[in-house]
Structure 1
Amino acid sequence: MADPESRLVEQVGALLRRAAAEAILPMFRHLAESDVSEKAPGEVVTVADHRAEEIIAAGLRRLRPESEVVGEEGVAADPAVLDLLAGPAEAWLVDPLDGTANFAAGRQPFAVMAALRRGGRTEAAWILDPMADRLLVARAGEGAYLDGNAVRTTGESIPARSLRGVVASRFLPVELRERVTEGAGRIGTVLPGQHCAGQEYADIVDNRQQFAIFWRTLPWDHAPGALLVEAAGGVVRRLDGSPYDPVDGRAGLLVAANESVWDTVHAALLATH
């Protein structure tokens, strides 16, 4: 990789790996009770989240001094930071530790994620699995790569009863949860989810599963994975079929390996029968 954008992709990947090595992995299964706190009802945060975001944010500002950084923990401390995404400035989205509840409980998976936004568009994305040291990267229009090797989602039309995917049901409205539950018998395997959006997106890119449905769509949780899936040949849309925009704040997202899978899952689980 010789062009400046490719060099930036490499530098950010190295930065995420450094944050994982310095702030996350040493704390895994070594957290004291005082290292974990509740930032919202049912939402935990750890010292590893804060330290990793500090490392990543400082590194990104060194790489791109003109850019804004919108980190999950920064927004938790000051929700007004989220407004930076709607402005004209180049902005980074950072999830320093996706799957914090897993991490705090000494479980996998968890991930480190980042995305670069320019002019209202996600231009580049990174998802790091720190435990396996696997790095997925994508640039808009340039494809998706796992540790430097091009990856593609399946392009096959798969019958509903052969599909495998996730419905993250925790935040689903009651009516929608009932509809999905009713339709689950039409799908081969419906999984409850791994409490780590980064892993769900990675599993679609890796063809371990073909779809995922989310209700809560915080931008740092989904902008990186959305670009990666789309760059690999997949489809990411709102539940009504409209385009996904990380900034619009609406709930509901259906991610699929290809157009046919999206249509099949939507008909089976989301359409009114």
Structure 2
Amino acid sequence: MNIDRLAAILKQAAQEEIMPRFRRLDEGTIKTKTGAFDLVTEADVGAERVITAAINAHRPDAIVIGEEAVSANPKLLDTNFEDRIVIYVDPVDGTANFAGGLPLFAVMASVVQNGETVAGVIYDPVGDDVVMAERGCGAWQVFPDGRTLRQTFAAAVPLAEMGGLASTAFLPPEQRRAVMGNLSQVKMTANYRCAGHEYRYAAGGNVHFMMYAKLMPWDHVAGALIMREAGAHVAKFDGSPYRHTDLDGGLLVASDEESWNALRREVFAV
């Protein structure tokens, strides 16, 4: 699917289903899935419905796998679609932020063809701009007026000067305690509870590393491609390449391989 068309579909869904509900959600329209910070709203469901229908209309040969569809039918993630075009969709990434009225949520989609990620799109409904990448073509921010800005991950700095984004919530308790202690070796860490905005922020060269322990494809396939196209070193905790079928093993992003190794050895080697 054409990446501009995909970005337009995400924008349409946001305008129709997400933004009209932002800071206008009734209490009964917010539901808990697996925990206090894992929520779903009518905006998630409506946006995924619109995105899926639009993709099916333009590319009926593609398989659309959305977060809410998998929530209803987890077996979707066990199906082998290696010979098909697969489009992963996160209709509202950062639902807890959205439900709380915080303008840090995004709409994401990624395209996988022949088992390889070929395109990723992250749309910001509040800023009305998109960060996107096609394999081998670099990462770009596209503004509402059509301006484009090439995205470049931050240059390497010593460990003590690094600032990064780390999601520790899904680490086992003992490992989480150790990692949070080890993070004192870097200058700054943050977590926005929205991988989409974290990847957008990182693509613009604003942090030196990112770490995630939970790997759902709608959260990371688009972002991982954007990071690679922005010049970052992206790998699972064991050093192997990250693939869209990986659901565990942790993901670490850094400025270069040397920085990645230093972070893995000093901060996340537990």
The TM-score normalised by the length of structure 2 is 0.93
Structure 2 equivalent of residue 127 of structure 1: 122
Task: Report how far residue 85 of structure 1 moved.
Answer: 5.4
SS in 1 for 2:150: strand
d(CA) in 2 for partners of 1:41, 1:159: 37
> 2:10 matched to 1:12?
no
d(CA) in 1 for partners of 2:104, 2:130: 14
> 2:168 matched to 1:169?
yes
Once the two structures are superposed, residues 13-60 of structure 1 have per-residue CA deviations (whole angstroms, 9 ceiling, x without a partner) of 111111111111110000001111123333210000001001111111
Task: Report how far residue 246 of structure 1 moved.
Answer: 2.1
Once the two structures are superposed, residues 173-217 of structure 1 have per-residue CA deviations (whole angstroms, 9 ceiling, x without a partner) of 1232132123222111122x1100111111111112121111111
SS in 2 for 1:89: coil
Task: Report how far residue 221 of structure 1 moved.
Answer: 0.4
d(CA) in 2 for partners of 1:244, 1:149: 26
Structure 2 equivalent of residue 31 of structure 1: 25
Task: Report how far residue 86 of structure 1 moved.
Answer: 4.2
| 168-177 or 124-133, which deviates more | 168-177
SS in 1 for 2:83: coil
Letter in 2 for 1:261: S
d(CA) in 2 for partners of 1:250, 1:256: 19
> 2:115 matched to 1:117?
no
SS in 1 for 2:109: strand
SS in 2 for 1:101: helix
Once the two structures are superposed, residues 138-187 of structure 1 have per-residue CA deviations (whole angstroms, 9 ceiling, x without a partner) of 00111111003322113x33011111012211111123213212322211
What is the number of residues matched between the two proteins? 264
Q: CA RMSD in A?
A: 1.5
Question: Equivalences for 1:137-216 in 2 at 5 Å?
Answer: 137-147=132-142, 148-154=148-154, 156-191=155-190, 193-216=191-214
Structure 2 equivalent of residue 218 of structure 1: 216
Q: Runs of 4+ in structure 1 displaced over 6 angstroms?
A: none
d(CA) in 1 for partners of 2:5, 2:80: 22
2:102 to 103, 107, 111: 107
Identical columns (%): 36
d(CA) in 2 for partners of 1:181, 1:38: 27
SS in 1 for 2:78: helix
SS in 1 for 2:104: coil
d(CA) in 2 for partners of 1:103, 1:51: 14
d(CA) in 2 for partners of 1:246, 1:143: 19
| 181-190 or 124-133, which deviates more | 181-190
The TM-score normalised by the length of structure 1 is 0.92
Given the superposition, is the C-alpha separation of residues 224 and 271 from structure 1 closer, same or farther in structure 2, using an over 3 Å criterion? same
Structure 1 equivalent of residue 230 of structure 2: 232
Task: Report how far residue 131 of structure 1 moved.
Answer: 0.6
2:91 to 93, 96, 101: 96
Task: Report how far residue 108 of structure 1 moved.
Answer: 2.5
